[in-house]
Amino acid sequence: MSPSPLKHFINVWTLGNYPNGNSQGEWTSEQKLAAIKEAGFDDCQCGFSEELRELAPRHGLAYLDAFDADETNYAARLKAFAPIRPPQINVQLLNHDTDPSEAAHPWVDVVKAVADLGLEVDLEIHRDPCTETPEKTRRIAELYQQQTGQPLRFNFDLSHFAVVRHLCPPYAPRLPDHPELFQLSRQIPVTDGQGGTSPWVKPWFEFVEAAFVCWQQGNAPDTTLWVCPELGTMGSGYWLEPFPDPWKDAIVVRREFDRLWQSVSAPAAA
């Protein structure tokens, strides 16, 4: 039996203000997508961008969409995605101060709308929306399952301190501590920022390896997992001038993800 497919995508935001850290001399969209394809990525993501949606297929890249949502805008935004048929849509829902009891039902509505359009959507764990902390996220998942009888599917963004909770390595024994939710995930964006060579990043890759094992144990071999090495864009709070080149680091992380996935994947049956 063949292992589950692993799809590597990159948020085009990673290449914002690249390569100089400001808009002067910034790569064009064509240059960015060409570099993404050359680096071995399967897909790209960048919210609402008509230009990138049109250009991505020309470079052999699928286009994944993402957006912030509340009760007033999700229906229109989902309808805008329908003709494009993105393989995944990533949503950051409501606000950091939204109570879980007020977040679960809107997500039920989002999932229903997505099903009517024949699309797939994940709720992202992230700083600032309703999933800002692990406790709130788990409560939303509980309420969603109570209302629908189905588990809630997440995009586990494990790069934010609000999610990691200032843990010291090793990370693998603590994250993920709810494997039944983690195994439902279809996307795992992560951040390293060290090019895959520093002592700091080694325990993070050990966690990624454990996460891959956990995910494979709960999914059928034909289920696709999407992973994104998202290190942030130059000129943002994610990147500071002394840091390594974020795009080059992302390429290193993509290669290491691929190696780790292959190392933990069960060999094909004879």
| 0.95 exceeded by pTM | no
The whole-chain average pLDDT of the chain stands at: 84
Structure confidence by residue, pLDDT tens digits, 225-264: 999 888 778 877 677 777 788 898 889 889 999 999 999 9
Domain borders along the chain are 6-264
Picking from 43, 23, 47, the residue whose alpha carbon sits closest to that of residue 33 is: 43
Instruction: Write 131-140 long-range contacts (CB < 8 A, 24+).
Output: 131/92, 131/93, 132/96, 132/162, 133/162, 133/163, 134/163, 134/165, 136/100, 136/103, 138/178, 138/181, 139/100, 140/100, 140/103, 140/104, 140/107
pLDDT confidence tier of residue 269, bands split at 50, 70 and 90? very low
pLDDT value, residue 161: 46
The class that CATH gives domain 6-264 is alpha beta
Q: Write the CB contacts of 231 (distance below 8 Å, at least 6 apart in sequence).
A: 14, 191, 192, 193, 238, 239, 246, 249, 250, 253
Picking from 186, 183, 201, 187, the residue whose alpha carbon sits closest to that of residue 253 is: 201
